[in-house]
Chains A and B, each alone.
Chain A
């Protein structure tokens, strides 16, 4: 039996911090679904504590449990005692990977291909993006569906194919120059992180982010080639790879010359702000990582902090609702700022979405690993969206964006017809000021 090491080495006070009051239960999407304690944050923590205490072995069942958890961190918002669930969750997933309790060559292969290969090399990820783009452009995808090629694949993979995001015409480096300056004297100098999924599927949102920064007196540094932030790795038990990527990120920028490092993807931002913890025992990087953490800002957080300019023109949209990315609201506690961005736009009514901070089921790669639960959450989200009768929903994370867009496409006849992001609406409003006209959804 492989020995559990990570949880036992964990600072015990992190586990003890949970006083099992149960306040997390009603906010946990998996507990609400099953009403079983093991599917709840406090239940999972009790399992991890039992492992640390040597009362429970690391088993396949424990692994299943930790991968059933969405990692949405709603429990962190609910927890009055301040339990660092994100830390426990990442340690636990690393523990089960180390213990090697999951069999299956196939799982191992896909994990290796994505985590160890594709998401470690920015050029490779873009290559995959180009291949996919070609595949979609040549309508090969339509053909493949016609000849029912996917019928030959495992059902779970075949079900995923239609969910493959539409690859952008151009990637971020083709849309944003390495250095762009505002027309007026720069007030701030910031770096823009373009992300991985964001870069190849929503590069336009990166462009919008740069435009919004420029319109608010920020000089924008955007490295043409950027590494993955490592959140995917950290959330999936590959802590060493995550550390390697964090070091690369830190080395890529001259921190002293920057006022802020801007991220526009909720999931990335939450992880980017945790490098200090990730590298806390790295003699060379620990101090740098702390500086890094302090400079990373979600775009909305930054806009509000620098008192962004209210646009004088509208965005060509009259009504919008807002879905919160879990890692933006629960992970980063950025809750009001995206709403402030939306309400600043003239002529735009912002309607509150019921359960706006309830996970949509995207949760990183959860929609791939746990399709059933993911679909249940998506259904719940779509039902809440329908209640608002809003034609447009804004969100701020590529995972949520894709998940909701796919959901809307699949269900048909939904009141909500479009998914966008607050910065895109703000950028449209700024452009409309110039008479460029709202460019509409991409």
Chain B
């Protein structure tokens, strides 16, 4: 079932649940003496405890989830992070790590009274190594700043999650964030070469290196990518970067049915073209995005597809022409190309705001992240439409056509309990269908609190228990982000 924690009591139960599962679970809240010790380790102004300071750290980008922490700290170095973790371990206070708090699965929502370690002040790019094509940065660096730094020397960091203007690289690695360029360039994991991590016992260690080839033992860094702050605290990363594509072309194709849009995508892939972006927005999403961005998107369409190809200028020209022709041949009633890169960037930026723009309609916006094999996408979209009708719900859908990652977004009001129950029922059906089609409950947002009720259903007993035993082995005390991913 969907986990929606609104009140204090419910989340207290969450702690209790975790407490009963783990023998030695950290369940204490931050005490005065604990806070005093933190102040000795960090400068006092980097330890926040007043109500006015804590309320704004009670949530992340996920709807309807909030819980007030006991203390928020801002370390500047890995050593400071380690010192905080050791103190938390000794005092058995659970630790929730966060960056800019833009997560969409409740992964960085605190536990009542816990310690929040906020890494936004660890914001230095340490090295851009043009010989090895790597970039080393502290976890609090903003994703876009990493790509901007690369761009200055003709390099490129491809993963571009919707929140890249403010999300931190540490958060991206911990959540294994995706983005609009997944089809061609993959996701955050594909760019992580090394990480510095603080383990639950306070040990600092570096996993990985700058070597393209490295088979020395288990690929430990990969265990931490996407671990959602439950296994360790990532404080630094070494990222792989690429030469920046010399050209980019952005196109729009408009359809009066989702099927035609999906057929176009199949045709493009069949033509052996891998575009960097193939995004779609349904009617409601297009209307909201246009309402916000006012960039002249046509609002009388059933599906709008944003296509982008990048690379060598000649190849880009050729592929763009082919893609536009294929879109027309497969039923697009209008296909147009952005006049220049600036206009293309505007279109992509508008797409990145799709989720938040949908919030214009109703007070609460619940974003889902189900993902199916690309070939099943049109079927899944039709299924979601049907679910919305049967449960009398408002669902705007957009997502990544190229990689099957869908974002059905429920527009509702968390105060309307009856409607929230209908959403739960609808979500159950969507999840069941996703799993039936061989998909996953979360393509890029992570499990956190929002998806943990569905995890076992997807994974099955074996791999679910394997995950839990890894968690128990690394964090027997249940210190780091307890209650996330699973209980």
What residues of chain A have their CB less than 8 Å away from a CB belonging to chain B?
12-13, 16-17, 19-23, 25-26, 35-38, 40, 42-44, 46-47, 50, 55-56, 59, 61-62, 65, 79-82
Q: Chain B nearest CB: distance from A304 CB in Å?
A: 16
| Known A22-B61, A22-B166; 7 more pairs at CB < 8 Å | A21-B102, A22-B163, A26-B166, A35-B120, A38-B53, A56-B51, A65-B52
Q: List 14 A-B contacts (CB under 8 A).
A: A16-B364, A17-B360, A19-B364, A21-B359, A22-B163, A23-B163, A23-B166, A35-B74, A35-B120, A46-B58, A46-B59, A56-B51, A65-B52, A80-B289
In the complex, the answer to whether A22 meets B357 with C-beta atoms within 8 Å is: no
**Chain B's nearest CB lies how many Å from the CB of A403?**
27
Chain A residues, CB < 8 A from B356: 19, 21, 23, 79-81
In the complex, what's the smallest C-beta–C-beta distance from A360 to chain B, in angstroms?
Answer: 22
CB distance from A54 to the nearest CB of B (A): 13
Q: Which of B55, B142, B289, B415 contacts A46 (CB 8 A)?
A: B55
Which residues of chain B (265-323) have a CB below 8 Å from chain A? 289, 291-293
Complex alpha-carbon distance, A35 and B123, angstroms: 10
In the docked arrangement, what's the CA distance between A82 and B293, Å?
11
A17–B166 contact, CB under 8 A? no
Nearest A residue to B123, CB-CB? A35
* Cβ–Cβ contact B359 & A47, under 8 A: no
A62 touches B121 (CB 8 A): no
Please name all residues of chain A whose beta carbon is closer than 8 Å to the beta carbon of B40 when the two chains form the complex: none
Cα distance A26–B355 in the bound complex, in angstroms:
18
Contact of B56 among A21, A23, A38, A82 (CB under 8 A): A38
Q: Are A81 and B165 in contact (CB under 8 A)?
A: no
Please list the 9 inter-chain residue pairs (A to B) with the smallest Cβ-Cβ separation, ordered nearest first.
A43-B56, A80-B356, A37-B56, A81-B359, A16-B363, A80-B353, A80-B357, A61-B52, A22-B102
The chain A residue sitting closest to B8, CB to CB, is A55
In the complex, what residues of A have CB within 8 A of residue B289's CB? 80
CB atoms of B52 and A22 under 8 A apart = no
What string of 1s and 0s marks CB contacts (under 8 Å) between B28-65 and chain A?
00000000000000000000101111011111110100
B402 beta carbon closer than 8 Å to chain A: no
Nearest residue, chain A, Cβ from B102:
A22
Q: CA–CA, A65 to B51, complex, Å?
A: 12
Which residue of A17, A20, A43 contacts B61 across the interface (Cβ within 8 Å)? A20
Q: Could you say which residues of chain B place their CB within 8 Å of the CB of A80?
A: 289, 292-293, 353, 355-357, 359-360
Question: Which of A19, A37, A40, A62 is in CB contact (< 8 Å) with B365?
Answer: A19
With the chains together, A46 CA to B61 CA distance in Å? 12
Q: How many Å from the CB of B262 to the closest CB on chain A?
A: 26
Please give the residue numbers on chain B whose beta carbons come within 8 Å of chain A beta carbons, in ascending order.
Answer: 48, 50-53, 55-61, 63, 74, 100-102, 120-121, 123, 142, 163, 165-167, 289, 291-293, 353, 355-357, 359-360, 363-365, 413-415
Complex CA distance for A22 and B359, rounded to whole angstroms = 13
Inter-chain CA distance A95–B169, complex, in Å, is 38
Instruction: Give the residue name and chain of the A residue nearest to B48 (CB).
Output: A36
Residue of A nearest to B363 (CB): A16
- A37:B359 contact, CB within 8 angstroms: no
A82 near B60: Cβ-Cβ < 8 Å: no
Our pick among B59, B74, B166, B414 for the contact of A25 (Cβ within 8 Å) is B166
Q: What are the residues of chain A within 8 A of B413 when measuring CB–CB?
A: 16
A19–B63 CB distance below 8 A: yes
**How far is A62 from B360 in the complex, measured between Cα atoms in Å?**
27
Task: Give the residues in chain B near A55, CB-CB below 8 Å.
Answer: 55
* Closest residue of B by beta carbon distance from A61: B52
